């Protein structure tokens, strides 16, 4: 176990960087790192076999911190509780956080199941979709330009650790999806086969559209099929995250290797 280095100045360069990562939704793109705040996200990272670059503990928590968190990083710092609160994006500041180096950006993976996010705006929706994708065996999530930043603090919190199980690619153009070489299934509220009656191919890529505008006409034109969910209650449409969970579960259940 490394000996922690105490930080007491609000102007410390590390703390300035952490505030930026915690409060700016796209700072990770320049920094190449993310700030994982709280026990759950930190443990989710460790559970996937990753190691943080730096572990940050409050002064009050460090003496009682569990050994797996204490031993998680070679570089460990402690900060006064008030300084951790100045970093935090949470109402109740966490007692521990990790700085993690993001994986080097890579291309999409051809021939594999995927979830495509077409300009989804709400961070909570995006994080929820990532959780469903990871749970249902879709190992990659591809974001079209205009989608909420996948590694933003709000999406990270909503994803609850799903990020570390997924291959994530951002900033794609519609034409980039041709390299996937799998059928595109477009979700729709008013046309296409009903999900419970549809024959779902595997592998495939589910395309989930903007909360208000739906899937773009350009993507619809490339789709192999449109699929809708039966709604006997008569609502106009489902929340995109709820629809994603239903569709991805249907795909997972239809796979021969699902169980």
Domain containing 147 — which CATH number? 3.40.1280.10
Q: Is 188 exposed, middle or buried (0-12, 13-18, 19+ CB in 10 A)?
A: buried
Same domain, 127 and 27: no
CB 52, CB 45: distance < 8 Å: yes
Selection from 174, 188, 177 nearest residue 119 by Cα: 174
Report yes or no: 16 and 22 within 8 Å, Cβ to Cβ: no
Could you tell me if 60 and 152 lie in one domain?
no
pLDDT digits (tens, 9 = 90+) for 135-184: 999 999 999 999 999 999 999 999 999 999 999 999 999 999 999 999 99
With tokens 């993001």, the residue in question is 102
**Whether residue 134 is found in the same domain as residue 241:** yes
Element (H, E) at 184: strand 184-187
167, 245: one domain: yes
The rounded distance, in Å, linking the Cα atoms of 128 and 130 is: 5
Residue where a domain stops, chosen among 54, 71, 101: 101
Q: Strands 140-144 and 96-101: what pairing?
A: unpaired
Instruction: State the pLDDT confidence band at 59, using cuts at 50, 70 and 90.
Output: very high
**Domain identity same for 78 and 127:** no
Looking at the structure, do residues 122 and 97 belong to the same domain, yes or no?
A: no
Cα(117)–Cα(214) distance, integer angstroms: 10
Count of the separate structural domains present in the chain: 2
**What are the tens digits of pLDDT across the range 24-51?**
999 999 999 999 999 999 999 999 999 9
Inside any domain, residue 229: yes
Tens of pLDDT, residue by residue over 186-212, are 988 778 899 999 999 999 999 999 998
Length of the chain in residues, anyone? Answer: 259
Range of the domain at 24: 5-101
pLDDT-based confidence at residue 238 (cuts at 50, 70, 90): confident
Residue 55's CB is within 10 A of a number of other CB atoms, namely 26
Residues 84 and 160 in one domain: no
In the predicted structure, residue 1 carries a pLDDT above the cut 70: no
Instruction: Return the axis-axis angle of helices 240-254 and 123-135, rounded to nearest 10°.
Output: 10
Q: Is the same domain home to 129 and 238?
A: yes
Is residue 142 located within the same domain as residue 191?
yes
Percent of the chain with pLDDT over 90: 86
Token reading at 140:
């990659």
Give the model's confidence band at 105: pLDDT under 50 very low, under 70 low, under 90 confident, else very high.
confident
**Domain at 37, CATH number:** 3.30.1330.30
pLDDT at 142: 98
| Residue 259 located in a structural domain | no
């Amino acid at each position: 176990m490394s000996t922690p280095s105490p930080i007491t100045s609000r102007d410390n360069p590390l703390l300035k960087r952490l505030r930026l990562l915690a409060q700016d939704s796209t700072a990770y793109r320049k920094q190449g790192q993310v700030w994982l705040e709280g026990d759950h996200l930190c443990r989710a990272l460790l559970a996937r076999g990753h190691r943080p670059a730096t572990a940050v503990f409050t002064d009050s928590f460090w003496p009682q911190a569990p050994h797996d968190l204490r031993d998680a990083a070679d570089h460990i710092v402690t900060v006064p509780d008030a300084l951790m609160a100045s970093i935090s994006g949470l109402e109740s500041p966490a007692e521990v956080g990790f700085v993690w180096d993001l994986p080097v950006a890579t291309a999409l993976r051809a021939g594999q199941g995927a979830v495509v996010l077409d300009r989804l705006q709400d961070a909570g929706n995006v994080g929820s979709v990532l959780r469903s994708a990871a749970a249902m065996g879709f190992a990659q999530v591809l974001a079209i330009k205009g989608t909420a930043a996948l590694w933003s603090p709000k999406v990270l919190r909503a994803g609850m650790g799903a990020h570390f199980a997924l291959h994530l690619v951002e900033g794609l153009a519609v034409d980039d999806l041709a390299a996937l070489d799998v059928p595109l299934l477009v979700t729709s509220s008013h046309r296409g086969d009903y999900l419970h009656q549809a024959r779902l191919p595997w592998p495939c890529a589910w395309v989930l559209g903007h909360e208000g505008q739906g899937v773009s006409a350009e993507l619809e034109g490339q789709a192999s099929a449109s699929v809708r969910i039966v709604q006997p209650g008569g609502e106009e449409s489902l929340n995109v995250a709820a629809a994603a969970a239903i569709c991805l579960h249907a795909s997972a259940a239809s796979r021969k290797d699902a169980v």
